[in-house]
Amino acid sequence: MADKEQSTHFGFSTVGTDEKAGMVRGVFDSVASKYDVMNDLMSLGVHRLWKRFAVELAGVKRGQRVLDLASGTGDLADRFADLVGPEGLVLMTDINAAMLGVGRDRMVDRGHAGNLSYAQVNAESLPVADDSLDLISIAFGLRNVTDKAKALSAMHQALKPGGRALILEFSKPLNKPLEKVYDLYSFKLLPKMGELVAKDAESYRYLAESIRMHPDQETLKGMMEEAGFERCDVHNLTGGIVAVHRGFKI
């Protein structure tokens, strides 16, 4: 096993820091083709409302430049491309080539062309100029990043003054009864759904474990402030099962 300085968590397991990104890729290689179906099943469609709220909170305007990290199949990038218009640009990215391919095909089917670009990107090292972006978003992806502090610093560096970061992520339920129900759902029902629909229980067991290992609302807000973000706010959704964090570069 790697020593403490060179290790991180992969769900409830401890792995080498140089191993995690590849293991995360493996998870999403496995589930890419069923990703949208499983999202609807897992959340009973509520993930669409969470994403709609996040997009509204982002305040994207015509002509702006947006980087969407961990885009998956492109739910946020799709809407941002409409909002920035032909004068703007949305860079749709994912660390996983299979997910990015599914997302790109979906965006082509939806008619997006000139203002939407694609790149395979690790959130810890962004291929953009400093002070160049109006918004950086990441939806349900930060918990899979090996070095979250490094990613948050990279996001801050890439944003223009006045730009903002938007993080939509699973978080910590705000009361104990909800937390108990959520645990039962996550560790019993979710892997079973993954087995039946995506033929992959283990990837969805990792999903549940990765959520529990992710920083809670106040901890993540503190991490954003340490990375340089100001006027940080937190918006709890569905009793804190999901939260939207927003921070500004001043």
More confident residue, 36 or 146: 146
Tell me how many domains the chain contains.
Answer: 1
User: Is residue 28 a contact partner of residue 70, using CB atoms and an 8 Å limit?
Assistant: no
Residue 189 lies in a domain: no
Residue 125 scores a pLDDT above 80:
yes
Residue 45 CA to residue 147 CA, distance in Å, equals 30
Task: Report if residue 183 sits inside a domain.
Answer: no
The pLDDT score that the predictor gives to residue 5 is 60
Which residues are 93's β-sheet partners? 119
SS3 237: strand
List, as one string, the DSSP characters of 42-104: HHTTTHHHHHHHHHHHHT--TT-EEEEES-TT-HHHHHHHHHHTTTSEEEEEES-HHHHHHHH
- The Cα–Cα gap between 223 and 150 comes to 10
Residue 181 lies in a domain: no
Please tell me the predicted confidence (pLDDT) of residue 60. 98
Q: Is 74 part of a structural domain of the chain?
A: yes
Angle between helices 47-58 and 35-43 (to 10 degrees): 100
Average pLDDT value for residue range 219-229? 98
User: For residues 241 and 40, which has the higher predicted lDDT (pLDDT)?
Assistant: 241
Name which of 26-40, 57-71, 147-161, 170-184 the model is least confident about: 26-40
* Helix pair angle (201-213, 17-31), 10° resolution: 130
Question: How, if at all, do strands 116-120 and 13-16 pair?
Answer: unpaired
In a domain, 78, yes or no: yes
Q: What is the pLDDT of residue 1?
A: 44
CATH number assigned to the domain comprising residue 30: 3.40.50.150
Q: What is the pLDDT of residues 127-153, one digit of tens each?
A: 999 999 999 999 999 999 999 999 999
Per-residue model confidence (pLDDT) at position 216? 97
185 within some domain: no
The verdict on pTM exceeding 0.85 is yes
| Range(s) of the domain holding residue 47 | 4-174+207-248
Considering the domain boundaries, does residue 13 fall inside one?
A: yes
234 or 37, greater pLDDT: 234
Distance CA 195, CA 181 (A): 21
CB-based contact 161:249 (threshold 8 Å): yes
**Measured CA angle at 166 (ends 66, 6), to 5 deg:** 100
Q: What is the largest CA-CA distance in the chain?
A: 50
Task: Specify burial of residue 78 (Cβ count, 10 A radius: 0-12, 13-18, 19+).
Answer: buried
Determine the straight-line distance between the first and last CA of the chain, rounded to whole angstroms: 42
d(CA 176, CA 116): 42
